[in-house]
Amino acid sequence: MSRNLSFISIHPQFIEAYFRFGVFKAATRLNIQLHSINLRTHAVDKHGSIDDSPFGGGDGMVMRVEPLAAAVRALPKPGRVIYTSPSGRLWTQKDAERYAALDEDLTFICGRFAGIDQRFVDAFIDDEVSIGDFVVSGGELPSLLIADSILRQVPGVLGNERSAPDDSFGSGMQGMLEYPLYTRPLEYEGHKVPDVLLSGDHQKIKVWREAAALEKTRKLRPDLLKNPSKN
């Protein structure tokens, strides 16, 4: 796993707030360094300008290439540079597992406004990815979501080493959704915990969970099944 994760943003405080919780906090205990870079420190003028109106007209503003390039070049080792955008390919669990296995630093570009200058994308971006077919106000949340998905694959970040493989889409689930989960109380407003989960028979529980995961996947995400009609 990379030893440095850097986030280039005009809202560094937003990014830094997440560093104190969950997998981000756990990752720092493993000597993974998290960095938040304020893009405005690389602004093109004393007013802190980092954007301008688009050539050819149109609504919104476009983030300029110079401050973005300067921010990346100022990093000792930017490693792979990731840009989250609705135009990117869809990020998946397999991507998270692949990136977690890389011995390379990662830099996230958190876009804002209408987008960023294409010349920066062409020259600096290694991977342009999307978290779904919808638009949010900036790249901070998508970048943090992707970083979270990567960090939880790193051994030692989660409390239980089986947690990540047994998540939905994980290798332990063969790409399916996770089976339904239950805890106390045994009965709630007439709804009971399935008897098999109380049986103590681990083989029967395993068979039940596999069948329940398949049914849940068929119902909610049939696209994940290679041959839904045959399962």
pLDDT of residue 164: 67
Comparing 171 with 215, the larger pLDDT belongs to 215
CA distances to 136, 141, 146 from 133, rounded to whole Å, are: 10, 15, 15
Q: Is the pLDDT of residue 230 over 60?
A: no
The SS3 assignment for 87 reads strand
Residue 86, H or E segment:
strand 80-90
Taking all residues of the chain, what is their mean pLDDT, rounded to a whole number?
A: 93
Of residues 121, 64, 43, the one with CA closest to residue 87 = 121
Of residues 119, 99, 120, 102, the one with CA closest to residue 110 = 120
Tokens of 208: 């039940």
pLDDT of residue 174: 83
Could you tell me the pTM of the whole model?
0.88
**CA triple 81-82-84, angle to 5 deg:** 155
Q: Is the pLDDT of residue 36 over 90?
A: yes
CATH of domain 4-151: 3.40.1280.10
Domain residues of the chain, as ranges?
Answer: 4-151, 171-230
**What CATH architecture applies to the domain 171-230?**
Orthogonal Bundle (1.10)
